[in-house]
Amino acid sequence: MPRALPTRSVVSIPARSRLPMRVALWLLDSPRLGHATSVKRFAGNLLKQPARLGCVQAQSRLGQLLCRDCGSHRDRRIGFELLRQAARAGDCQAQLELGRLLSPPHHNASE
């Protein structure tokens, strides 16, 4: 009897990539540390490898960082692509962020 193929592939993240990802998420979610530019840069570097390996949560958070906090057009484009990948995989935060990025700016009716 042939095996049914899974509808979505599950990416297994090696243990050596899980710890840096957990540290990065902790740093970004920390009320005291998460707003510092140097902390965001460090956390982004920690998220790169898990995102490359296909970890949806890493793709989503790194995409958000690149789109919100980078001045470079290239970095924003990479962040947008990471958000698209995470959103396709079902990440709600990535879907919301993409919606925010793609929605036209609201204009005040009195202008």
CATH-assigned architecture of domain 17-101: Alpha Horseshoe (1.25)
Q: Which two tokens stand for residue 69?
A: 């906090």
pLDDT tens, position by position, 69-100: 887 899 999 999 999 999 999 999 999 999 99
Tokens of 76: 């924003």
What is the predicted pLDDT for the residue at 4? 42
Domain locations along the chain: 17-101
| Statement: residue 66 has pLDDT above 50 | yes
Q: Which amino acid type is present at position 109?
A: A
